[in-house]
Amino acid sequence: MNNKFDVITIGGSAGSLLVLTELLDALPDRLTAPVIIVLHRLRNVQSEMGRLLSTRRRIVEPEDKEPVREHCVYLAPQNYHLMVEADRTFMLDYSELVNYSRPSIDMTFSSVAEVYGARTLGILLSGANKDGAAGLCQIITAGGRGVVQDPQTAAFEAMPQSAIEMCGGVQVLSIENIKKIIVGET
């Protein structure tokens, strides 16, 4: 198992649920890096997303000021921006929507890039807007690895395509190849 990453961040929106479940199923038991997931969800309805995504690993929605822990899979709480602070604790924020979204993938990716720098893996999946593209660029600029789902395989190509157009150095990969990165094969 390679230990290139201290954190794995995954962002998605429309059309990303099945792919995300596939990625979560591929997480090896020996993976120590925390996984932080940001999904666009309806803001004012009860959500069972954490339960739906929980497969072999339990997924938790972090509390404000909770430390980011190894071996954990986190899901950004519904209707809050999720950021990581310099002391590696979570911060929940209820400020304005970013790219029509709260939680914003951009805000999470940007904060993680500032804290973890080159030890960050950012993955952007299917979605119908450009949220996540600027944050993925920041991960790459900080020396981390930025990956997008091949837009040709995405249910909604706008999100990964925006990152391709905006970021130099982004990798466009199939889901199978993204799984290989997560498990440390490439």
Mean model confidence pLDDT for the chain: 90
**77 cis-preceded (ω within 30 degrees of 0):** no
pLDDT at 60 over 80: yes
- Determine the pLDDT at residue 1: 44
Q: How many domains does the chain have?
A: 1
Give me the domain span that covers residue 106. Answer: 7-182
- Residue 24: inside a domain, yes or no? yes
Q: Global pTM?
A: 0.92
131 is catalytic: yes
| Res 122: pLDDT | 98
Does a structural domain hold residue 60?
yes
Task: Give the pLDDT confidence of 83-117 residue by residue, as tens digits.
Answer: 999 999 999 999 898 888 899 999 999 999 999 99
- 2 within some domain: no
Express as a percent the part of the chain with pLDDT over 90.
Answer: 75
- Does residue 56 carry a pLDDT above 80? no
Using DSSP, state whether 85 is helix, strand or coil.
coil
Query: In this model, does residue 65 exceed pLDDT 90?
Result: yes
Catalytic residue among 6, 16, 106, 131: 131
The crossing angle, in degrees rounded to 10, of helices 158-166 and 133-141 is 40
In a domain, 59, yes or no: yes
Can 40 be counted among the known catalytic residues? yes
Half-sphere exposure at residue 133, Cβ-oriented, CA atoms within 13 angstroms: 19
Residue at 89 is within a domain: yes
The CATH code of the domain that includes 155 is 3.40.50.180
Q: Which two tokens stand for residue 35?
A: 């996984």
Query: Considering 6, 16, 40, 126, which one is annotated as catalytic?
Result: 40
Structural contact between residues 113 and 119, judged by C-beta atoms closer than 8 angstroms: no
Supply the DSSP symbol for 181: H
Mean pLDDT of 71-89: 95
pLDDT of residue 5: 95
Please indicate, yes or no, if residue 145 is contained in any of the structural domains. yes
Count helices and strands (H / E) in the chain.
Answer: 6, 9
Domain presence at residue 121: yes
Residue 149 covered by a domain? yes
Cβ contact 36:61 at 8 Å = no
Q: What are 1-52's pLDDT values in tens digits?
A: 446 899 999 999 999 999 999 999 998 888 899 999 999 876 654 555 445 5
Q: Pick the catalytic residue: 6, 13, 104, 111? A: 13
Sequence-ordered list of residues with C-beta below 8 angstroms from that of 17, at least 6 positions apart, any chain: 39, 52, 53
